Structure 1
Amino acid sequence: MRQAVFLDRDGVINEVLTKRVKFVNTPVDFLLLDGVGESIRVLNEAGFLVFIVTNQGGVGLGYMKEVMLQKIHKKMIEDLATFGASVDDIAYCPHKPDEGCPCRKPEAQMLVELAQKHQVDLHSSVMVGDRKPDIQAGQSAGSKTVLVNRRSKDTYDADAVFDNLQAALPWILQMKKSTSQ
């Protein structure tokens, strides 16, 4: 079984709710956070599979169509490639926030399905997010959890808390070392 790092998108990989970007509804709104490209490249080089798991309620709410979401993800992949970084797969929930669908975080379905598809051991993998639903999804899946770029003082019982993905790298990489020994 393989190890993976599951990354939430908005607030972990790209800017959201900043002075420059409120929401990411078009590719022009997609701006990588500092250090993310390099961090994902390090995760790739360490042998982790890297997945994006993102709630995209803007689709269900009518702020964008799925074709636009695909264009945003294409830009993300292109932007990451400039750093020599790549993602192995992307899962998203297009449903409205209160639709009660099983794929929307805090539910763990996106993580579980990616793990099944790519033969990933969820218990030796890590979910990185910036909000409570991300941490809850990781916990429900049985993965370790990392909270970054938090907007609240609460840590939601995450296994680790860091300012950003780059700061979390040593902790995540230690997970790789501990399972390979």
Structure 2
Amino acid sequence: MEIAAVLFDRDGTLVEDVPYNGNPLLVLPVPGAVGAVAAVRSRGLALGVVSNQSGIGRGLLTWDEVDAVNARVEEVFGGFDSWQLCPHAPEQGCQCRKPEPGMVLAACSELGVLPERTVVVGDIGADVEAAERAGARSVLVPTPRTLPDEVRRAPVVADDLAEAVRLVLS
């Protein structure tokens, strides 16, 4: 089935992972990320971001700070068609925090696409698992924080974001 949407994790996938970042000046795209997003956009696919932001639930970040960082991400990459954020701390047991499927399903609903026509691109096992639980596909792009077991279990692994997008678009 042809892909209709690509959902990207934010921290560690689109931009360098700065833990609990509330400062837009610290937004730095991962090498190749801007071009990879542009390639997806040029194919007319829906674009979204699905991002755990537990710093809000932990009292380390405000919504305004997260919104400012996301506005900077939009400046760097161009607009996204859907932003799905989970503000909850892990112990809150919500259905949106990855690896739960809530954000993926919400993005699919907002974009009007079926989960099976959606690919989630992320850097950790929770991204892959959220996609699987939602009925979407996934591509894992490992970083130094990705656990070896997460790489072994991922159905599709790419060396970098450019390769991930090539796999999605092929």
Q: How far is the alpha carbon of 1:158 from its aligned partner? A: 2.2
CA distance in 2, matches of 1:5, 1:89: 10
Answer yes or no: is 1:3 the counterpart of 2:4: yes
Correspondent of 1:153 among 127, 148, 166: 148
Give the counterpart letter for 2:39 in structure 1: V
Uncovered stretches (5+) of structure 1, i.e. residues with no partner: 175-181
SS in 2 for 1:6: strand
Judge conservation of contact 2:47–2:80 (CA < 8 Å) in 1: yes
Give the counterpart letter for 2:65 in structure 1: M
CA distance in 1, matches of 2:89, 2:19: 18
Uncovered stretches (5+) of structure 2, i.e. residues with no partner: none
Q: How far is the alpha carbon of 1:13 from its aligned partner? A: 0.4
Percentage identity across paired residues of the two chains: 31
Q: TM-score, normalised by structure 2?
A: 0.91
Q: TM-score, normalised by structure 1?
A: 0.86
Judge conservation of contact 2:20–2:60 (CA < 8 Å) in 1: no
Aligned partner of 1:179 in structure 2 is none
Alignment of 1:1-181 (within 5 A): 3-16=4-17, 21-81=18-78, 86-150=79-143, 151-154=146-149, 155=151, 157-174=153-170
State the superposition RMSD in angstroms: 1.6
CA distance in 2, matches of 1:145, 1:116: 18
Q: How far is the alpha carbon of 1:114 from its aligned partner? A: 1.6
> How many residues of Structure 1 are paired with residues of Structure 2 in the alignment?
166
Q: How far is the alpha carbon of 1:77 from its aligned partner? A: 0.3
